[in-house]
Every structure is written in structure tokens, then in C-alpha cells.
Structure 1
Amino acid sequence: MQEMTMRTTDRRSMFALAAALGAGAALPAAARPLDQVLSSRRLRAGINPTLPPFGTFNDRNQIDGFDADIAREIARRMNIELEIVQVGSPDRIPFLQADRIDIVLGAITRTVERALVIDYTQPLHTQSMVVLTKASGTAVPINAPADLNNRAVRLVQVRGTVGVPWIQANAAQAQVTLLDNYPDCFRALAQGRADAMVDVAESVVIPMRNFQGVQWRILDQVLASFWVGIGVQKGNTGLRDVLNVVLFEMHRSGFVNTTWEKWFGVPMTTPIPFNPMF
């Protein structure tokens, strides 16, 4: 009976791994342990350049942004060189599993599903779900999240984002229009075809700047906070442990918060608590 239980558990783990890597994906290659990273004097960091300001292309067509600055500082503190590898949201975990990168950044929110197939460092930053609205011109005054649960309120949302289930649970009476991308949502808000949207602040702070003639307003109340660490391959504990110490020092010195404000223009909505157990 015990052997049967172990085999069942193994099958479930394999199914979870296959789901994360994609249909038909191969088993993960062995990660480079810490001593190999140090002996090669090279840290390979996966960064998504289509997720500004976490990752973006600069004027020289090089990958830059918050994640790039963080990765450069990690490599500097480890006294090794940094190699930035371009990844996208769908392939960042497969790249890690295939040993094409040593670490992955890019707002990789900590979830149980991902934790089954990769290891996380302690949090690098947070993401905070908020209500974005306008200072005037809405169907009804919106001063608190509870005001959204009104038949007169018109919400607009990107399909599949974290705000959709929150709206279903907390603002079921509102009119909801689901669109395919953020620019279309912001146009609807700017043109008065919608009153508010619910999303993580980090996804809205940059698009807001493209509509400077609109008096945007983000409500003070944070609806939910999500923790974002750096991903390493499952079982690569030596590298993960060193990264945790490096991150602690980067938080303690203020480097993370300073870099965040450099790229986002505002402080982190939900600060990372200072924790010596990093």
C-alpha cells in the first residue's frame, strides 16, 4: 500500500511538471549548482523585455528595466558577470527547467502551482491589486471598492487578469466589459465608456502615463497583495540560499526600493517587510 501511494504521488508530480513545461516537453536538465555558477563567473538571468518597466528595450536595443538593474546588482555582489537571456511569460519556466538560465525574473508571482515545479527566493517585490478610476466623470462617485457593486458602474477589464474573479465576488452588480489588452481598457476609461478597472498597480502605472490629459485616481485601499520572488530550478538550494542573503542585503541597503522608484516613479504600494530570516 505504501509503494502504491508513492507511485501515485510521483505521477501527480510528473503531471504538474508536464503542465508547467507544456505538452510534450522533456524532463528538466540538471541545473548548474552554485559552484558551477561561480566557477564559470557567469549568472544567466531570464528577463522579459515586453513587460515594462520590469523589462524593456532601451535606445540601444538592449534589455533594461527594474529586473535588469536587480540582476546586475546581484551579479555584482556575487562578483561574477551577468548574462541577460530574453524570455517571455510562456517560456520562462521551461527555460529554467532546461538549464538555459540560472534565475528568472519578470514579476513571477509566487503561486502553489509554480512552487510545485520551481523554487522561489524570498520576495523581491510585491504586486498590489487596486481600483483605478477617475477623479470625475464616472457614473456614480467611486470613493471605496464597495462603490463598484452598483448597477450603474461600468467596469472594464483585461480577460484573464486577477481583477476578474475579484469583481465576480465583490462587484457582481456592476456592468463588466472584458477586452483583450490594456491599451483598449485605458482608451475606454479615458473616453468615458467605462468608470473603473481592478488590477495590480504595477500593470496600470505605466499605461496611465500615456493618457496624460485624464485625471486618474487610484483608491488607497489595497484589495490583495501578491508576493514576487526570483525563480530557480527545483532543488537548486545552494544558489537559492545565496540569492536570499544577497536579496536581504539589497533590501537592507535600500537598493531594491530605490530601483523600484527609479523605474515606477512611485514607492512600492505594499513594501517588503524587513526580515532577517531572508
Structure 2
Amino acid sequence: MPAFDRRNLLALAAAAAGSALLPPAAVARPLDQVLSTKRLRAGINPTLPPFGTFNERNQIDGFDADIAREIARRMNVELEIVQVGSPDRIPFLQADRIDIVLGAMTRLIERALVIDYTIPLHTQSVVVLTKQSGTAAPINTPADLNNPAVRLVQVRGTIGVPWIQANAPRAQVTLLDNYPDTFRALAQGRADAMVDVLESVVIPMRNFQQVQWKVLDQVLGSTWVGIGVQKGNHSLRDVLNIVLFEMHRDGFVNRTWEKWFGVPMKTPIPFNPMF
């Protein structure tokens, strides 16, 4: 099975980086200003559950919020959560409206040209999601998708689309506009499988508990996700790296991941003190 084509991921995510459209950066707050004001401003996207979501008190919560709160606690500063969306998270850093940004910030060359990254916080894993039974043909390995009888369903523009084009060209493919419609097609037996980032499908899977889902063991590709800081803000980034290292070493990141995702991280972060 060919490896996941990283170039396709880069092409799909380049627009999200938006590097060519960003305004000149405002001066970032270095570490000494974060410490002197005792305030760390974290950008979190509340429309990306379980990374970010609104709780019953209409406050931003989720994996990213728990991570940001723990970072602030270990730095002995107060946390200010700032709501961001995917398109404006890098511009918010550029404009010095936030000090750090979370929200599945996949490490990409295009983004690294305009922001700095911490060491990885977590990974994202591209997998095949199918069902225990009721598929048009047995699906036990990714290679089984390359079958004219297999009906794949995908959200337009997601990273599974180019993988299918390269690795399962014989399959039937239906492209839909959103995840709810995609999961309804799977649940109702109108499709057999999809290829997507595991972390993007955890919540939709829970919404269809009557379906016996099956995630194939093989990871088609993994991406590294760090915390973003403004370009050149090395004093803050360097401390964040040490804080994150300790949070990985004492198990806080993995415990928080399992709290929100219900399962261990599919591709673990290697324990490495060199950064």
C-alpha cells in the first residue's frame, strides 16, 4: 500500500495557512511581558469538538482548553481564552491578539514560513472508517477499498479524497458537503467506508451509536500538531517547549486526550527531550 502522499496534504492545507494574504505582523509579546502581566492569551476554535467546544455554561472547553489551562498553571499566569476560527487563527497571531494558538495546528511548511511551532502536542492519523457488517464487499485492509463494488463517501476537500484517487481509483466515490450527511450515508447503508483523519470522525461516530463502526488498524498517514506562536517569539516558544515536554513526560497530555477522545492517541508522540 503506497504511503500517504504528504504533498496532497500540503496542497489542501496551503490555503488555510493563508501566508500570502497575511498583513505585516505586529510585535509579539515576549515571555517577559506574559510573565509581567500574568496573562497568557490562547486562541481556541470552539467549533472543532472535542478539541474545542462550548460547554453547558456557554464557555469554551475541550481538549485544547484543558491543555491551555494546564500550560498557564505551570507558568503561574492566568489564562485568557480567545475564540478563533480556522481562517483567522494565524492572522490573530500576526496581529498580536493572541500569544498562542491551538486547534489542530498541523505542522506544515507553508505555516512554518509565517509562524513558529512548539514541539508536537499531538498527532492526527489518517485511517479507514468502515462497518463491522453490511458492506458491499469485505473491508479488512486499505487495499480492499480498490474494488468496483466498494462505495466510498467523502466530504469534499478533505485529505481522504487525494488518497482515494491515488490508491483506490476503482472504487465508487460519492462526495458530500459535510460530515453529518456523510455519516448518514454510511449509517443508512448507502456507503461502505470513508478515509479521513480519525480525530475528525470521533464525535460523528458517537452520534450514530446504533452502527457497529470499525476503524482499520493501519494508519495511512500521520501529521504532527504543535502550538503556534508568532514568528520569532523564541522566548515564549522555548518555555512552552519545556512545559509541553513535562506534560508529555508526566502523562498529562495522554490523560487529557483519553478524557476527551475516549481512546488513546492513535499515533503516540515519541518521548524525546531534544528540541
**TM-score category, normalised to shorter length:** over 0.9
CA shift for structure 1 position 26: 2.7
What is the alpha-carbon distance in structure 2 between the residues aligned to residue 207 and residue 92 of structure 1? 24
SS in 2 for 1:130: strand
Deviations 1:52-95 (A, max 9, x none): 00000000000000000000000000000000000000000000
Q: 1:78 corresponds to which residue?
A: 75
Distance 2:235 2:81 in 1: 21
Do the aligned partners of 1:20 and 1:117 also contact (CA within 8 Å) in 2? no
Instruction: Quote the residue 1:103 is aligned against.
Output: 100
Aligned match of 2:197? 200
Aligned counterpart, 2:11: none
Q: Number of residue pairs matched? A: 261
Q: How does 1:155-234 map to 2 (within 5 A)?
A: 155-234=152-231
Residues 208-234 of structure 1 show CA distances to partners (whole Å, capped at 9, x for unaligned) of 010011010000000000000000000
Q: Normalised by the size of structure 1, how large is the TM-score?
A: 0.92
Cα distance in 2 between the residues matched to 1:227 and 1:97: 22
CA displacement, residues 126-161 of structure 1 (integer Å, 9 cap, x when unaligned) = 000000000011010000000000111110001111
Alignment partner of 2:18 out of 17, 20, 23: 20
Provide Cα deviations, 1:2-27, integer angstroms capped at 9, x if missing partner. Answer: xxxxxxxxxxxxxx99x72574x531
Q: Aligned AA for 2:213?
A: W
Partner of 1:137: 134
Partner-residue secondary structure (3-state), 2:92 = helix
SS of 2:18's equivalent? helix
Q: Residue 44 of structure 1 aligns to a residue in which SS? A: strand
Aligned CA-pair RMSD: 1.3
- CA deviations 1:95-124 (Å, max 9, x no partner) are 010000000000010011111100000000
1-structure distance, mates of 2:83, 2:153: 31
Aligned-pair identity (%): 85
Gapped runs of 5+ residues in structure 1? 1-15
Q: Over residues 213-265 of structure 1, what are the superposed CA-to-partner deviations in whole Å (9 max), with x where a residue is unaligned? A: 10100000000000000000000011000000000000000000000000000
Higher alpha-carbon Rg: 1
Match of 1:151 among 148, 160, 165: 148
Distance 1:264 1:128 in 2: 13
| Residue 114 of structure 2 corresponds to residue 117 of structure 1 | yes
Scaled by the length of structure 2, what TM-score is found? 0.93
What displacement does 1:206 show?
Answer: 1.1
Residue by residue over 1:182-218, the C-alpha shift from the partner in whole angstroms, topping out at 9 and shown as x without a partner, is 1010000000010000001101111101001101000
